[in-house]
Amino acid sequence: MLRSSGLGLASRVLSGFLLLFVAGALPWLSQRDPAASVLRARYAELEPTPEALASIRAQLGLDGGPFATSLRWWAGVLRGDLGRSWVSGGEIGPGVWAALGVSVTLTLFAVVVAVAVTAALVAPAARRVLRGVPQRGSGPAGVALTALPEFLLASTLLVVVAVQLRWLPPYGWTGLHTAILPALALGIPAGGLLGRLVADAVAGVSDERWVEVWRLAGASRTTLLAGVLRRAGAAVVDQLGLVFIGLLGGAVAVEQVFAIPGLGRYLLGAANAQDLPALQAGVLLMAAAAVLLGMLAGLARRALLGGPLAPGTLPGPPEPRGDDRAARWTAGLALAGLTLLLAAGLPRNPYAIAHPRLAPPGAELPFGADATGRDLLARVAHGTLGTLLPSLGIVLLAILTALILAVLGEVSRGPAEIANATPPILAGVIIAALLGPSVGGAALAVLWVTWPPLTAHATALLDEARAMPHIRWLPLAGVPPWEVWLRHVLPATVPPLLRHGMLRLPGVALALAALGFLGLGAQPPLPEWGLLLSEGIDYVERAPWTTLAPAAALVLTSVLAVALAGLRQAARDRQAARRGTGRKTALAVQRDGAGGALW
Amino acid sequence: MSTDGHNPPVLEISELTAVHGHGKHARPVLSPTSFTVMAGESVAVVGRSGAGKSTLADIALGLRNPAGGHVLVAGKDWCLPTRRPPHGLRHLVQGVPQDPAAAFVPRWTLRRSIGQAVHRLTGDHEVERRIRRAAELARLDHALLDRRPGEVSGGQAQRAALARALAVDPVLLVADEPTSALDAGTAAAVSGSLLSLVQETGIALLLVTHDPALAARCSRTITLTAPAAA
C-alpha cells in the first residue's frame, strides 16, 4: 500500500468520477420503478397505464438512461437547483438547507461537549508530562466513554434523564434545553475517541528525547506543555478524519432518537419514503460537509507540521499500550454473558404471542414481555443469532473481498479511500433507499465499511509471504506460480486474516444493530437487537424492561468489541517487536547454539 | 562429463543489465555484464555491496528477469525481460541459498522438499534413488532427511540444500554467499565440499562471495562494479 503509482492515482480519479456519476444517477438506479411509486404516491386515482408512466418518467427527468439523469442532476446542482421531491412534488432546496442548519447547530454544541471531554481526558496526561512522570496512556476512562455507540448512549440518556428523572424534554428542537441531551449523546463518544488519541499521543511524546532536553535546558512549564501538545497534535491530526466520520454517522442516530429535524433525520425519512431526489440532496450536503472538514483537517495539519513532509521524516504515531490481561478478562466475561443469554433463551419461542402485553419480569419471564406479548428473553437470545450470524457472514465476505483486492493491489486504492470515509449509517441509508430496507441491504452497507482495513492487512500479509525466502525459491523446484499461490502464499495469509476478522465481529454486529435500530435493516417481526431496542423505546415510560433487555445484550457486545480491539493492538505490538529483532538474527543465534557441535 | 579443457559453455551472459523498481522509480542495479562459464569451471563473483552480485545470481537462477541482454544456458535461451525460464530447462540450473532455510518449506521434511523438486523437474519415478545419491554427494547423513529444516543445524541445512540442488542433475550450480550465515569452521567445510564437487562431477559453479580467500580457490574471478546512479 505504500507504493504510490500511476495505477493508484488512476484508481482514485476513476472512483471519484464513478462516485459523482452514481450520486447523480441514484433515482435511475433505484430498484423499484420510480415512476410507478410516484404515480401511487401522487395520483392514487390514476391507472398505471404505459402512457401515464412514460409521462411521469419524463416529468421526473428519468428518460434517457442513467447518464442523462446524472448529467441533468449535476447541471441542476451547479445552478443551485436541488430538484423536486417525488413524494410532495415541492422544491427540495429550502427543506434540506433548513435541516442542514439544524444539524450544524447541533454539531457545534456536540463539538463543545467533545472538546470538554477531550480536555478532561488529556489533562492528567499533560500534568504527568510536566512533572516528568511517564504515563502509560489514556486509561479506562477513555475506554468507558467510547464503549457505547451513539444510538445506545442516546437511548440511555433519553430513558434516564428525560423519562425517569424528567430533567429535560425527551423530544423536539425548540430551544437550548432541547439541545443538551443530543449534544451529550453525540459529543461524549467523539470526545472520548479524540481524548484517547491525544492522551496516548501525549504519553508517547513524553518519551521522546527532546522533552528531556527541553526540561534540562530550563524551558518554562508553558513552553514545554505547548511543545508537547503541538507534537502530539501533529501525531493525531491524521486521525481527526475518523472522529469527524463518527460524528456524521452518529448524528443520524441521535437525531432520530431525539426527533430533531436535522440532516440525518431528513436522510432517514427520504430513505424510508424512497424519495431519491431528497436523499441525493441530503447526501450531497453531507459529502460537502465531509470534504470541508477534511480540508480544515488538512489546514490544521499544515499549520502543525509546516507543509507536506517526505515519508519517514516523522516518527510514527505512538502505539497505545493497553493492559492485555484486563482486556482478556473483560472479553471473557462479556462472552460468557452472551453465551448464558443464548443458552437460556434459545429453547424459547420468540414469535409466540402467549403472554400479557408488557408483562413485567418474573420467574416465568425473566426479561418480561414486549408490547405484543412475546417473550423478551427468547427474542433477545434469538436476536443474538439474528445479529451475529449475518455479522459472521459479513466478516467472511469481507475477508474474501480483502484477499481478492489485495491481489489486485493498487486498483482497489480509490474505492478503499471512499469506503474508509463512509459512515456505515450513511451507506445503509443509501442502500435502503435503493433496495428497500432489509437484512441483506444492511449487511451490504456494513460490508462496504468492513473491507478496507482487512484489505490493508491482507496486502501487508501477502507482501510478507511473497518475500519469505522459501516461497521466493519455490520456482527453482519447478513449482508453477498458481501452486505457489494456493499451497504456500494463501496458507500463510488466511489464518492471521481470519483472526483479525473475528476480532472485528462484535463491531460489525453493533453497526448492523445500529442500522436495525434506525429501521434500515431487519424488519418486524424478525428478532434483531437494534430492531428490538427501537420497538422497546416506544414503551419506555410504561415498561422500561423492553429496552433494558436488548440494551444489555448490546452493551455486552460493545464491551466485547472494545476489549477485543485492545487485544488486537497488543497482538500487533508483539508482532512488531518480533519483527524488530529480525528473523536473521534469531536464526543465527539458533545456529550458534547447535551448528558447530553437530557439523 | 569430464574436465579435459574442451568443455562446452554452460552459461553465456552478454550485456546483461537489471533494474530495480518500475517507471519513475527504476534504478539500475547491474551494469552491463558479459562472461561465459564452461562446464567444470568454478567462477567467483566478487564486488562491493550494491554491485549487483545477488541480482546476477537471481537472474542466473531464473528467480528474476533481466532488464536487457541475453542469457543462454547450455546453448538455449534462458530468460528474457518478459519471460521466465521454460519449465523444461529448470533442472539445468540449481542453487544453494545464503540462508539454507530458503530451500525448504518449513513444515515439510527435507525428504519431501527434495522429492518435490525431483518429481517436478525430472519426472523421474526413482525419486528415492536420486535423493540417496544426492545426499551422498553432499555428504548429508540419511537420517537427517526425515527432519524438518528447523530441526537441523545450519551446516546440516546447507548440506541438505546442496543435496536438493544436486538431486535433479543440474549443469550449473549458483551459490550466493553460501557460507556467510555459518561459523568459520562450518563455512570452511561447506565451501570445501562445493569446490571438490565441481572437480568430481564436472558441474559448473557460479559462486558469489565476499571472501577473497574463497574466491582465490576458484578457477576464475569476475569483479562487478556498481552501476552509476541514473
Query: How would you label A418-434 residue by residue, b for 16+ Cβ within 10 Å and e otherwise?
Result: ebebbbbbbbbbbbbbb
Q: Rounded to an integer, what distance in angstroms lies between the CA atom of residue A376 and that of residue A366? A: 8
Across the beta sheet with B93-96, the strand order is: B93-96, B172-176, B204-208, B42-46, B220-223
Select from A18, A49, A78 the last residue of a domain.
A78
Q: What is the mean pLDDT of residues A428-436?
A: 82
Q: Rounded to an integer, what distance in angstroms lies between the CA atom of residue B131 and that of residue B133? A: 6
Task: Report the percentage of chain A scoring pLDDT > 70.
Answer: 83
Q: What is the mean pLDDT of residues A448-477?
A: 85
Residue A315 lies in a domain: no
Rounded to a whole number of angstroms, the distance from the CA of A496 to the nearest CA of chain B is: 17
Q: Which residue has the cell 518519551?
A: A207
The model's pLDDT over B128-180, given as tens digits with 9 standing for 90+, comes to 888 888 888 888 888 888 998 888 888 888 889 989 988 888 999 999 888 88
* Contact assessment for residue A440 and residue A526, using Cβ atoms and an 8 Å cutoff: no
Select from A270, A305, A340 the last residue of a domain.
A305
Q: What phi, psi does B27 have (nearest 5°)?
A: -135, 145
Q: Please check whether residues A102 and A54 belong to one and the same domain.
A: no
Hey, how many other C-beta atoms are within 10 angstroms of the C-beta on A508? 26
A89 or A350, greater pLDDT: A350
The model's pLDDT over A139-191, given as tens digits with 9 standing for 90+, comes to 666 666 766 778 888 888 887 888 778 788 777 788 778 888 889 988 888 88
> A587 touching B, CB under 8 A?
yes
Q: Rounded to an integer, what distance in angstroms lies between the CA atom of residue A274 and that of residue A430? A: 10
What distances in angstroms separate CA A441 from CA A18, A172, A249, A395, A488, one per listed residue?
A: 21, 30, 17, 15, 36
- Show the cell assigned to B116: 518435490
Residue A436 lies in a domain: yes
Using DSSP's 3-state secondary structure scheme, residue B5 falls into coil
The model's pLDDT over A226-266, given as tens digits with 9 standing for 90+, comes to 888 888 887 777 677 667 767 777 888 888 888 888 888 88
Cβ within 8 Å, pair B181-A588: yes
Residue A361 lies in a domain: yes
Which of A473, A476, A599 is nearest residue B189 as measured by Cβ atoms?
Answer: A599
Cβ within 8 Å, pair A475-B62: yes
Residue B98 lies in a domain: yes
Residue A329 confidence (pLDDT): 83
Q: Please check whether residues A362 and A391 belong to one and the same domain.
A: yes
User: Is residue A576 predicted with pLDDT exceeding 70?
Assistant: no
Q: Please check whether residues A408 and A473 belong to one and the same domain.
A: yes
Q: What is the mean pLDDT of residues A434-447?
A: 86
Residue B217 lies in a domain: yes
Residue A306 confidence (pLDDT): 65
* Contact assessment for residue A255 and residue A69, using Cβ atoms and an 8 Å cutoff: no
Cβ within 8 Å, pair A475-B90: yes
Q: Please check whether residues A216 and A150 belong to one and the same domain.
A: yes
Residue from B153, B177, B180 whose CB has the most chain A CBs within 10 Å, to mutate: B153
Nearest to A475 by CA among B63, B69, B148: B63
Select from A50, A78, A106 the last residue of a domain.
A78
Cβ within 8 Å, pair B99-A6: no
- Show the cell assigned to B191: 565451501
Q: Please check whether residues A36 and A180 belong to one and the same domain.
A: no
- Show the cell assigned to B136: 551422498
Q: Rounded to an integer, what distance in angstroms lies between the CA atom of residue A558 and that of residue A273? A: 31
- With bands split at pLDDT 50, 70 and 90, how would you rate the model's confidence at A465? confident
Hey, how many other C-beta atoms are within 10 angstroms of the C-beta on A220? 9
The model's pLDDT over B134-146, given as tens digits with 9 standing for 90+, comes to 888 888 888 888 9
A336 or A161, greater pLDDT: A336
Residue B177 lies in a domain: yes
What distances in angstroms separate CA A67 from CA A54, A72, A110, A431, one per listed residue?
A: 18, 8, 39, 20
Rounded to a whole number of angstroms, the distance from the CA of B39 to the nearest CA of chain A is: 20
Lowest mean pLDDT among A72-81, A208-217, A581-590: A581-590
B156 or A35, greater pLDDT: B156
Residue A313 lies in a domain: no
* Contact assessment for residue A497 and residue A454, using Cβ atoms and an 8 Å cutoff: yes
Residue B146 lies in a domain: no
Q: What is the mean pLDDT of residues A486-513?
A: 85
Q: Please check whether residues A340 and A487 belong to one and the same domain.
A: yes
- With bands split at pLDDT 50, 70 and 90, how would you rate the model's confidence at A297? confident
Q: Please check whether residues A67 and A120 belong to one and the same domain.
A: no
- Show the cell assigned to B172: 550449473
Nearest CA in chain B to A593: B153
Q: Which helix (H) or strand (E) holds A8?
A: helix A6-29
Cβ within 8 Å, pair A595-B182: yes
Q: Domain total for chain B?
A: 1
**What's B193's domain CATH number?**
3.40.50.300
Q: Nearest 5 degrees, angle CA A16-CA A21-CA A22?
A: 100
Residue B30 lies in a domain: yes
- With bands split at pLDDT 50, 70 and 90, how would you rate the model's confidence at B27? confident
Residues of chain B with Cβ-Cβ distance to A596 below 8 Å are 183, 185-186
Residue A140 confidence (pLDDT): 66
Query: How would you label A340-368 residue by residue, b for 16+ Cβ within 10 Å and e otherwise?
Result: ebbeebeebebeeeebeebbebeeebebb
Residues 424-483 of A with CB under 8 A from B: 469-470, 472-480
**What's A414's domain CATH number?**
1.10.3720.10
> A592 touching B, CB under 8 A?
yes
> A598 touching B, CB under 8 A?
yes
Residue A538 lies in a domain: yes
Q: Please check whether residues A396 and A518 belong to one and the same domain.
A: yes
DSSP label of B170: -
- Domain ranges, residue A437: 324-598
ipTM: 0.85
DSSP label of B104: S
> A5 touching B, CB under 8 A?
yes
DSSP label of B42: E
Q: Which helix (H) or strand (E) holds A390?
A: helix A376-408
Q: Please check whether residues A286 and A331 belong to one and the same domain.
A: no
* Contact assessment for residue A366 and residue A511, using Cβ atoms and an 8 Å cutoff: no
Q: What does pTM read for this prediction?
A: 0.73
Q: Domain total for chain A?
A: 3
Rounded to a whole number of angstroms, the distance from the CA of B2 to the nearest CA of chain A is: 26
Q: Is the dihedral of CA B176, B181, B187, B189 positive or negative?
A: negative
Q: Please check whether residues A417 and A463 belong to one and the same domain.
A: yes
Q: Rounded to an integer, what distance in angstroms lies between the CA atom of residue A213 and that of residue A228? A: 12
Residue A317 lies in a domain: no
Q: What is the mean pLDDT of residues B202-219?
A: 89
Residue A577 confidence (pLDDT): 53
- With bands split at pLDDT 50, 70 and 90, how would you rate the model's confidence at A33? low
Residue A369 lies in a domain: yes
AA letter at B160: A
Residue A594 confidence (pLDDT): 31
Residue B117 confidence (pLDDT): 87
DSSP label of B74: T
Q: Which residue has the cell 541445512?
A: B157
Task: Report the percentage of chain B scoring pLDDT > 90.
Answer: 12
* Contact assessment for residue B125 and residue B118, using Cβ atoms and an 8 Å cutoff: no
Pairing of strands B172-176, B204-208: parallel
Residue A590 confidence (pLDDT): 32
* Contact assessment for residue B53 and residue B45, using Cβ atoms and an 8 Å cutoff: yes
Side-chain-facing half-sphere of A71: CA atoms under 13 Å: 6
Q: Please check whether residues A141 and A98 belong to one and the same domain.
A: yes
Cβ within 8 Å, pair B95-A476: yes
Examine residue A469 and say whether the peptide bond preceding it is cis (omega within 30 degrees of 0): no
Residues of chain B with Cβ-Cβ distance to A488 below 8 Å are 105
Residue A551 lies in a domain: yes
What distances in angstroms separate CA A146 from CA A198, A348, A414, A559, one per listed residue?
A: 14, 34, 29, 10
Residues of chain A with Cβ-Cβ distance to B61 below 8 Å are 476
- Domain ranges, residue B83: 9-107+170-223
Residue A325 confidence (pLDDT): 72
The model's pLDDT over A381-397, given as tens digits with 9 standing for 90+, comes to 998 888 888 999 999 99
The model's pLDDT over A584-598, given as tens digits with 9 standing for 90+, comes to 333 333 333 332 223
DSSP label of B132: H
> A311 touching B, CB under 8 A?
no
Q: Please check whether residues A393 and A504 belong to one and the same domain.
A: yes
What distances in angstroms separate CA A459 from CA A311, A447, A464, A495, B170, one per listed residue?
A: 19, 18, 9, 14, 36
Cβ within 8 Å, pair A469-B99: yes
* Cα A145 off chain centre by: 16
